[in-house]
Structure 1
Amino acid sequence: IPKRVFAKNSLHQVDLLEALTLCQALDKTPETVIVGVEPKDIKTVCLELTPPVQERVDDLILMVLGELDRLGAEYKPREVLDQDQSPILRTPGERGTYSSCV
């Protein structure tokens, strides 16, 4: 177990890698699927998703739903007041506006 794990004051301070390491040490390693985004640019700071990431949000949603299906989980879409508010219902190219990045 990494020494940095022992220096925690709270379980809230344990990151994902440390949590998985602890599971492995306890011989209780769960099946783990990690879905993430690799940054193309780590210097620019944005509050919104960049256009390349936003363009893949629908794919990400479908990937996560597919994983939930594989696990046998039950889910239902939350109610959407307006079809335009749901990224999964938009057609490609119909994206929101983006704020400027610095």
Structure 2
Amino acid sequence: MSAATAWLMLLLAGVLDVLWALAMKQAQGYTRLGWTLTSLLLLAAFVWLLGKSLSVLPVGTAYAVWTGIGAVGTVLAGALLFGESLGAARLGGIALVLAGIVVLKLAPG
């Protein structure tokens, strides 16, 4: 697999991580079967994609980028879908995480 394909799989794993978190919220502590099954399928999918990307990418970089995508995406989705606060400090935190992802992506090795 090429590095470009691995990065694409990693990006998709991050997006699925966000969707998984949203499905977990909707599952309401695993009390709603449909959302529970959806969350488990999303979990399996993002773990598989992450694992495949790790066959090419450095584990430290890939894991940090994946968690950053998940964290930023989930904060933004929570604000958009559930009215969670998105003040200056949270926006600053998002900016720092995004900056870290860019640095990790561009760093050699």
TM-score in terms of structure 2 length? 0.33
The higher radius of gyration belongs to 1
Higher helix share: 2
TM-score in terms of structure 1 length? 0.35
